[in-house]
Amino acid sequence: MPNTQPSSSDRPPEGRHLILVGNGDSHLHVAAHAERLVQHGARVTLVTQQDFAFSDWLGGMLGGEWQRDDVRLPADRIAVHGGVHVRADVTQVDRRQRRITLTGGRELDYDWLSLDLPPVVDEHAIPGFYTAQGVFTASADDLWQLRQQLESQLAGAAARLPRVALLAGGPNGVELAANLLALGERYGRRLPVTLIANDRKLLPGACQRANRWLTQRLHRRGLQLELVATATRYHRGQLVLDDGSVVDANLLVVTDRLKPSPTLEMFGLARDENNAIDVDAKLRSRQDPNLFLAGEKPAGRSEGLTTRERTALLLASLEAAVGGESRALRYGQSERWKALNLGDLRDIAWRGPLWCRGRWVRRWKHRRDRREVAHYLGDC
């Protein structure tokens, strides 16, 4: 039974240790700018068994634009920015001593620890859904496996195509659905794809005009939409929705029926009635100020953060903790704008009531993405 009370003792200021546990998007950003933390005298260690995946390219990988090796970014490239990578999993946690034990028995002490662990599918969320021919998450490995399976069937002209249902709301679900359509279009065939989401609009944070344009475009490409809908169970090749209607589906892509990583549960942090861990405006745990939780909703935010806003917030919060001084965080234009790869060379970008679409959005997004990848890899 691990100790879960933080220690009140201070550590010596020399070489204070920051550990990043997990290969999520926020830790990729922190790893790419680890030199900012090292300049404050901190040692930065990344603990993850898996490499990073560049999430902005996962949709394009599913649609046939990128290969798996393109989206995988080696975790050990943190060394370019002054950090150290340890390829291991956490097996034990002692919050009182501020110590974690890794596979193989190695122990690491920390002054601060950040958690950015991808969630896992909750196998009990939808009764029967593991009887489908395939269940996939939005991880790089799962999406690559799905693409390989679909391409083998798309390439055979006589083969009957499987029906794919996405239980995925918000921009992530839209991008995956659009690129599944794009994968079929590459082979000159229409892949049956259904997007099921519990929102009233495809892009809840975008204006009405942007949503109307996007909805019409995806309808023309053959996407079946089930909005303000929730899947209740899976039975004999069909998803049963909360209104009693059914959706035929052989393959399921699940991004919104998830539960926290088992590693996160090792830290023994209490959750509220919404299954959330209480963090302050800087993603710092109120139960244990030595912990930062990248996946939680920061206090005082009525709306969710974009991925780039969240990554910038975590880096600024860690820098303030390590450096001992807090600065007002100002997001740049790149963090505020959201952009989606729709798989047909006409992407969409928006920020509140502002929006734009077309080929130039795609060019702008590619330049931004390539610059970020090159910076992390040290190829700038």
The pLDDT tens digits for 104-133 are: 999 999 999 999 999 888 888 899 988 999
pLDDT bucket at 9, cuts 50 / 70 / 90: very low
> 298: which residues sit within 8 A by CB, 6+ positions away?
279, 280, 281, 282, 283, 305, 313
**Rounded mean pLDDT, 268-286:** 91
CB 339 within 8 A of CB 356: no
Query: Looking at domain 17-119+260-336, which CATH architecture does it have?
Result: 3-Layer(bba) Sandwich (3.50)
Letter for the amino acid at 49?
Q
* pLDDT-derived band at 28, boundaries 50, 70, 90: very high
Q: Considering the chain, tell me which residue range(s) the CATH 3.50.50.60 domain(s) occupy.
A: 17-119+260-336, 122-257
Report domain 122-257's class: alpha beta
Query: CA of 353: how far to CAs of 210, 218, 266, in Å?
Result: 9, 21, 42
Residue 174 has pLDDT above 50, yes or no: yes
* Nearest in space to 192 (alpha carbons), one of 229, 153, 136: 153
Predicted pLDDT at 24: 95
Q: What is the DSSP letter of 79?
A: G
Q: Rounded mean pLDDT of 58-62?
A: 97
**Of 188 and 2, the one with more pLDDT:** 188
pLDDT at 3 over 60: no
Q: What is the pLDDT of residue 331?
A: 55
